Amino acid sequence: MRTDIGQIVHLADYRPTDFVLERVDLTFELDPTETKVEARLIFHRRDGVDASAPLVLDGDELNMTGLLLDQDEIPAGLFDASADQLVIRDLPAAVPFEITITTIINPTANTKLMGLYRTGGIYCTQCEAEGFRRITYFPDRPDVLAPYTVNIIAEKAPNPLLLSNGNFLGGAGYGEGKHFAAWFDPHPKPSYLFALVAGDLGMVEDTFVTMSGREVALKIYVEHGKEPRVAYAMDALKRSMKWDEEKFGREYDLDIFMIVAVSDFNMGAMENKGLNVFNDKYVLADPETATDADYANIEAIIAHEYFHNWTGNRITCRDWFQLCLKEGLTVYRDHEFSADQRSRAVKRIAEVRHLKSEQFPEDAGPLAHPVRPTKFREINNFYTTTVYEKGSEVTRMIATLLGADLFKAGMDLYFDRHDGDASTVEDFVKCFEDASGRDLKQFSLWYDQAGTPLVTVSGHYDAAASTFTLQLEQMIPATPGQSTKEPMHIPLRMALILDNGSEASPSAVSGGELTGDVLHLTERKQTVTFSGISSRPVLSLNRGFSAPINLHFDQSSADLAHIARHDSDWFARWQALTDLALPNLMQAARDIQLGKAVACDPVLIATLLEIVADDSLEPAFRAQALALPGEADIARELGANNDPDAIHAGRKAIMAEIARAGQQTFVTLYDSMQTPGAFSPDAASAGKRALRNSALAYLSYAEETPARAATAFAAANNMTDLSQALALLAQRFPDAPESQAALSTFETRFSDNALVIDKWFSIQALIPGETALARVKTLMHSPHFISTNPNRVRSLVGAFAFSNTTGFNRADGAAYQFLAEQILDIDKRNPQLAARILTAMRSWRSLEPVRADHARAALLTIERGAGLSGDVSDIVERMLKG
């Protein structure tokens, strides 16, 4: 394990390599514990580079057994090899030369799951961000692009499949019991997109004909026996390929596209050129074992990785600081894809919920960093919601500022201008400036300034002058390393809604630019006046969540209810309901802390019940309306000094009041939102199930008995209904015999399905309250618990730390110490996974003082741990310092 403290890398220090890599030839002789890798690399010295400059290659835990220059051994005095670096001196000044490096690696011992490793008898690679250097010494950085030829030699019986990137060149027998296969990827790529898979897997195949008429073979590889669960992923892949042609004009560029699903994987999936490797959680689905959310995730992630072929692979990143260039943009593309496949408004609501519950806390805590960071110590720790989700929001804002046509022109220019490049954020933004003629200099601050902007707004209607005046002020909070901020260009979609629900059209606007329905906030303080407004309007601002900001606008309950009922923008209707609900939930938490009775605003109850009973609105939207802001949202709004127990109890009390007031509505919904017949994962059916299960949850508060949930559990014919009923039983009535029986039935029925057993762990990890910690500890001794499987660890330890707000934040701090022990243990095997789970404590500073002290003590326990990895020490130090 690498235990040294990594160097801090700065964006400002970027410079190109001294040597240009022309091509890569790799030969793997696979062996479970002694795989031999021969890398033949052809370089030439870059123009202008000093003739004495050495070649410096990256490594990580490498063991080199051979080193040749143009097939001759390099004398000992001319190179230095350590486990993490190879330096070669005295290389030719003017002509290309070939370096041949032989290394021996042990895929079985590789529990970090970076580089080449073995999982379930399969050889598999993960090279992003810096895994390739665990295979051979290499200029392991994204701006070094070359075509790759890969030869794989292995025992034939256990490894009938030998896969790598690009097109298949051929294969044959190779000595006794062995065979080989050769692959060539003509598209120059950086090493992080390299992939190799070997082993014995089942396969499902199909074809796709591209817009220019080329037939592409599509192959999805899974463990034998799991082939019947691949159909939805294959369908999603074909829809993604079609959509990218229609929406972005992008066609696939190899003869074959392969996906391999493995069960031990640190992330969701990886977009290796032509050979995506997936966590099988995002490939496998059937009605009996996958929920509607699983289906939606599979669709989105299959699309995301496929879309990377253009945004990430054909155009890659110059350096890891530009990660948002591929990730933010590709998340934006997969969000748009899902919006086109499903309900756009419902999709947007789900995105914003996720952004606010995951990215906003990151942006407000010690781990805050810009969408494009300027320094890092461990790049693995920057695969964050800020880079991905806020990065996507920044792309969305460009589309909002420019409008659909100019945005498309900018994207086309980007593809034309930078195909084959390793690019920067500046390159990307410049394409939109050139295509639109609009200056995006101020807008680009979104890439560089961390922190969620706070926009404070007040409005005033002058009846005599028929004007509506808005005063806006923006403030970007200080974040680690950035104490002062410049005002940003914030695009705010808006409407002035009149009494009858129609939208006012101002005759003139002064004090700010309004293009279409987009108000451009560019100053720190701005006063904007709309003329020709005949009666007092209700302002609907930041419609569609056009900017990822916190908005403070003291609107009356009546105005919010007006928006919730009348806005033509469904997102704005949902947002208004949320804004109605939040003050009630916050007040409820305060009242619980003070020992006072909780009361809910009748306007909220009336508006909510009216909307959920409105059959003209799609069920999925109504389900979103019923899902009140979560405990993390309430904690975020309360800011400092929050008490998770009070937040939890307050939220329950508000739900109970709504449930009692709407009991009849919920009974009607529960009965009417059935989806008879065979299960279909389509969006409309999923929406009905979501609304029905929301009604069931509220009824558990109105009826205060597990009976209805137990009946639902027994009757469920799909995993969505079954797992929701089980979660309701376990989390609302943990001690009821019905709940214990259901957990046991579920475990027995699905004991051989790892992905479903993950759900069984998560549901129990989220049972709230003091008993949660003991339960999690007991579950760690369950025969199903596998400490080396990242999905399993996330489903129990991760779910508990991230989402069980009362159980994890128990006042005595015992759960923080438990997490500290777990992090130290996981870190020994899999530092990336340990670092990721540790970020569950990112908001520790906003806890009330007693809990915050316990949290700090746990972080110090981790910091003092022996042999801490660079991944974990980076996170823990930033959390303690920031």
Bridge partners, residue 98, by sequence: 42
Provide the token pair at 293: 């959310």
> Restricting to residues 150-179, which ones interact with Zn ion according to CB under 5 A?
none
Provide the token pair at 227: 């082939």
- Write the DSSP string, 705-772: SSHHHHHHHHH--SHHHHHHHHHHHHHH-TTSHHHHHHHHHHHHHTTT-HHHHHHHHHHHHT--STTH
On the question of a cis peptide bond just before residue 625, with omega within 30 degrees of 0, the verdict is: no
Q: How far is the CB of 389 from Zn ion (least distance, A)?
A: 12
Q: How far is the CB of 303 from Zn ion (least distance, A)?
A: 11
Nearest to 283 by CA among 256, 265, 310, 309: 265
Q: How far is the CB of 518 from Zn ion (least distance, A)?
A: 28
Nearer to Zn ion, 311 or 341 (CB): 311
On the question of a cis peptide bond just before residue 129, with omega within 30 degrees of 0, the verdict is: yes
Q: How far is the CB of 194 from Zn ion (least distance, A)?
A: 16
Residue of 130, 299, 305, 631 marked active site: 305
Crossing angle for the helix pair 870-881 and 814-829, nearest 10 degrees? 150
CA atoms of 456 and 77, how far apart (whole Å): 66
Provide the token pair at 452: 């969620």
Nearer to Zn ion, 327 or 874 (CB): 327
Q: How far is the CB of 680 from Zn ion (least distance, A)?
A: 29
Mask for 320-359, x = binds Zn ion (CB under 5 A): -------x--------------------------------
Q: What's the one-letter identity of residue 345? A: A
Strand pairing category for 256-262 and 215-222: parallel
Q: How far is the CB of 308 from Zn ion (least distance, A)?
A: 6
Q: How far is the CB of 393 from Zn ion (least distance, A)?
A: 16
Nearer to Zn ion, 392 or 665 (CB): 392
Q: How far is the CB of 521 from Zn ion (least distance, A)?
A: 31
Q: Is 396 helix (H, G, I), strand (E, B) or coil?
A: helix
Nearest to 746 by CA among 773, 728, 770, 768: 728
How many of the other CB atoms lie within 10 Å of CB of 398? Answer: 25
Nearer to Zn ion, 309 or 693 (CB): 309
Judge contact between 414 and 428, C-beta under 8 A: yes
Nearer to Zn ion, 308 or 851 (CB): 308
> Restricting to residues 546-605, which ones interact with Zn ion according to CB under 5 A?
none
Q: How far is the CB of 245 from Zn ion (least distance, A)?
A: 20
Distances (CA, A) of 109 to 35, 498, 787: 12, 67, 15
Strand pairing category for 146-155 and 19-29: parallel
Nearer to Zn ion, 303 or 612 (CB): 303
Judge contact between 454 and 474, C-beta under 8 A: yes
- Write the DSSP string, 229-279: G-HHHHHHHHHHHHHHHHHH-----SSEEEEEEESS-SSSEE--TTEEEEE
Provide the token pair at 155: 């025992």
Q: Is 95 helix (H, G, I), strand (E, B) or coil?
A: coil
**Cα R_g (the chain), whole angstroms:** 28
What's 8's DSSP letter? P
Judge contact between 543 and 569, C-beta under 8 A: yes
Number of residues that bind Zn ion (CB under 5 A): 1
Mask for 623-662, x = binds Zn ion (CB under 5 A): ----------------------------------------
Q: What's the one-letter identity of residue 146? A: A
Provide the token pair at 773: 């910690």
First to last CA, the chain: 27
Distances (CA, A) of 719 to 358, 580, 723, 746: 26, 33, 6, 11
Provide the token pair at 703: 């009826």
Nearer to Zn ion, 300 or 661 (CB): 300
Distances (CA, A) of 420 to 99, 192, 274, 672, 725: 25, 15, 16, 54, 50
Q: How far is the CB of 216 from Zn ion (least distance, A)?
A: 21
Distances (CA, A) of 248 to 218, 240, 715: 21, 11, 44
Q: How far is the CB of 373 from Zn ion (least distance, A)?
A: 17
CA atoms of 133 and 58, how far apart (whole Å): 6
Strand pairing category for 55-58 and 85-88: antiparallel
Nearer to Zn ion, 327 or 827 (CB): 327
Nearer to Zn ion, 327 or 618 (CB): 327
What's 449's DSSP letter? -
CA atoms of 388 and 372, how far apart (whole Å): 11
Is 251 one of the catalytic residues? no
Nearer to Zn ion, 418 or 708 (CB): 418
Nearer to Zn ion, 271 or 286 (CB): 271
Nearest to 123 by CA among 326, 264, 332, 296: 264
Q: How far is the CB of 282 from Zn ion (least distance, A)?
A: 12
Nearer to Zn ion, 304 or 648 (CB): 304
CA atoms of 415 and 315, how far apart (whole Å): 8
Provide the token pair at 66: 């051979």
Nearer to Zn ion, 268 or 532 (CB): 268
Rounded (5°) CA angle 181-183-188: 160
Strand pairing category for 508-510 and 525-531: antiparallel
Q: How far is the CB of 218 from Zn ion (least distance, A)?
A: 20
Provide the token pair at 818: 């438990």
CA atoms of 267 and 790, how far apart (whole Å): 9
Please give the positions annotated as active site. Answer: 305
Binding residues for Zn ion, rule: CB under 5 A, are 327
